[in-house]
Amino acid sequence: MTILEQIIADKIEEIDLKKSIIPIHQLEQSVLFNRPKNSLKNRLMQRKSGIIAEHKRRSPSKAIINQNLNVKDVAKGYETAGVCGMSILTDTKYFGGTIEDLMLARASCQLPLLRKDFIIDPYQIFEAKSYGADVILLIAASLTRKEIKTLSVLAKQLDLEVLLEIHNENELNKALMPSLDMIGVNNRNLKTFEVDIKHSKDLSTLIPDDFVKVSESGISSTEAIKSLQPFGFQGFLIGETFMKTKKPGLSAAEFIKTLEA
C-alpha cells in the first residue's frame, strides 16, 4: 500500500466518524455557510506575485516543520505580507492540521482560503464551506473522473472554487472539465518525494488557458517563480519556505518584496 492509499483509507474512517457526530444539515447551519467567497482565481489573475502561502505543521516527507506557531498569527502575517491566498492543511494524522485551523484563519484575515486535504467525499465540501473556505483542493491521483466531476460540481453549487492537483499528463487528461477553476501541478514525485519544478514546465503547454495554472511544491526562491512565469503560471503554492521560519508572515513579505523588485 502506498502512502497515498494509506492516507485515503484513514480518511474514509475519519469521515464516517465525523458524519456520525455532525451531520450535513448541521454544517449548513454554520454562520459562515452563506458567506460570499473571496476569489483566489481572481487574485491570482490580477496580482503580480501569485503567492499562495501555506500553514503546515508537518508532512510525511519532512516530519516536523513548525509546530510552535499560532494559525491566527500566521494568517495575519500572510495578509500583511500581501499574499494572494492562504492554504490551510486540515489533515490531522499526517500533517498535524485541523478543520478548526481553517475557522481560526477565517476569523483572522480576509484572504481567500484554500482547504488543503484529501477530499474524497461530498461531506468534506460542506464542511469546508461551513468552516470558512473559499477554495477546495481535489487530488486527481486519488479520484476517478466521475468523482472529480461530482465533487467539483458540488463545490461550484456551494460557491466554492476548485483547484485540481495533477502529477502527470494522464491525470490531467482524466480530469479536465468546466467545473474546475485552477490546475495545480505538483512538482513532488509521490513515490520518491523528490521535487523538480521542471515538472510544471513540462506540463504547462498541456493545460488549457481556460484554467489558472498553479505550481506546487519545491518553490523556495524568487528565481524559481520567475522561471515559471513565462510558462503561463500565475499561482505559486509555497509552504515550507515560510513555515520553517519563526515569522512566516515576515518571510513572505521579504520574499514578495524581492520578487516584485
Which position has the grid cell 516527507?
A: 61
Q: Between 122-130 and 3-21, two packed helices, what is the crossing angle to 10 degrees? A: 70
Q: Buried (b) or exposed (e) across 38-62, using 16+ Cβ within 10 A?
A: bbbbebbeebebbbbbbbbbbbeee
What is each CA distance from 119 to 127, 191, 197, 232, in whole angstroms?
A: 11, 20, 25, 27
Q: Which of 37, 216, 240, 251 is catalytic?
A: 216
Q: Is 246 labeled as catalytic in the residue annotation? A: no
pLDDT tens digits, 167-194: 999 999 999 999 999 999 999 876 677 8
pLDDT at 61: 65
What is the CA angle 94-99-102, rounded to 5? 115
The predicted model scores a pTM of: 0.95
Q: Which of 186, 187, 200, 251 is catalytic?
A: 186
Can you list the positions of beta strands (E) in 4-57? 51-55
Cβ neighbourhood burial of 110 (10 Å; 0-12, 13-18, 19+): exposed
Q: Is 116 labeled as catalytic in the residue annotation? A: yes
Q: What are phi and psi of 66, to 5 degrees?
A: -165, 115
Amino acid letter for position 106: R
In CATH, what number is assigned to the domain containing residue 127? 3.20.20.70
160, 133 Cβ separation under 8 angstroms = yes
Q: Is 217 labeled as catalytic in the residue annotation? A: yes
Q: Which of 41, 116, 129, 201 is catalytic?
A: 116
Go through the chain and tell me how many residues it has. 261
Q: Which of 38, 41, 54, 251 is catalytic?
A: 54
Q: Is 147 labeled as catalytic in the residue annotation? A: no
pLDDT tens digits, 29-76: 999 999 999 999 999 999 889 999 999 887 776 676 667 788 999 999
Q: Is 70 labeled as catalytic in the residue annotation? A: no
Q: Which of 127, 165, 171, 240 is catalytic?
A: 165
Closest Cα partner for 234 from 200, 206, 258, 194? 200
Question: Which range, 91-95, 195-199, 242-246, 251-255, is most confident?
Answer: 251-255
Range of the domain at 51: 3-31+40-260
pLDDT at 194: 82
Q: Is 216 labeled as catalytic in the residue annotation? A: yes
Q: Is 213 labeled as catalytic in the residue annotation? A: no
Q: Which of 11, 41, 56, 129 is catalytic?
A: 56
Domain tally, the chain: 1
pLDDT at 4: 84
Q: Do β-strands 233-238 and 212-216 pair in parallel, antiparallel, or remain unpaired?
A: parallel
- The average confidence (pLDDT) of the chain is 94
Q: Which of 38, 152, 217, 251 is catalytic?
A: 217
